[in-house]
Amino acid sequence: MENATRNLYEGMFLVDSAQAAADWDGIIAAVRTVLERAGAEIVSLKKWDERKLTYNIAGKSRGTYILSYFKAEGRRITDIERDVQLSEKIMRALILNADQMSPEDVEKKPPAAKMESAGGGLTAKDKAGQGAVSE
């Protein structure tokens, strides 16, 4: 089907922070592979933030979130979700329809980039997990 409708989607991928720190390129490659196997056209792919998890997932208490915007056919989203479940590098994913988002919204800087550009790192409160409140 060459003329199938390709919608814009927002994908939030959760990966182990220790793995992300040790092999960032491998983590990004895993996310790209999952999306490209489903025929998605990646619009944006960036680190969103690292946070303390509310509860442990696979024995991990911290996670790094990767925010992605991509265009894909709606019927291929289940393929992406299946590949995430089979992936050893991606712990969780949430995919939402983002057709209502403007190009400016897609290009907004994530919290991690804002902190880096401000020259600030994690505060002692953030390191203790107390500052991991969503905006």
Token duo for residue 8 = 């814009």
> Which residues share a beta bridge with 17?
none
Structure confidence by residue, pLDDT tens digits, 35-65: 999 999 999 999 999 999 999 998 999 999 9
Per cent of the chain over pLDDT 70 is 80
- Please state whether the predicted TM-score (pTM) of the whole model is above 0.85: no
Total structural domains within the chain: 1
* Domain contains 1: no
* Domain contains 135: no
CATH number at residue 91: 3.30.70.60
33 half-sphere exposure, CB direction, 13 A CA radius: 14
* Domain contains 71: yes
* Domain contains 133: no
Domain containing 19 equals: 6-127
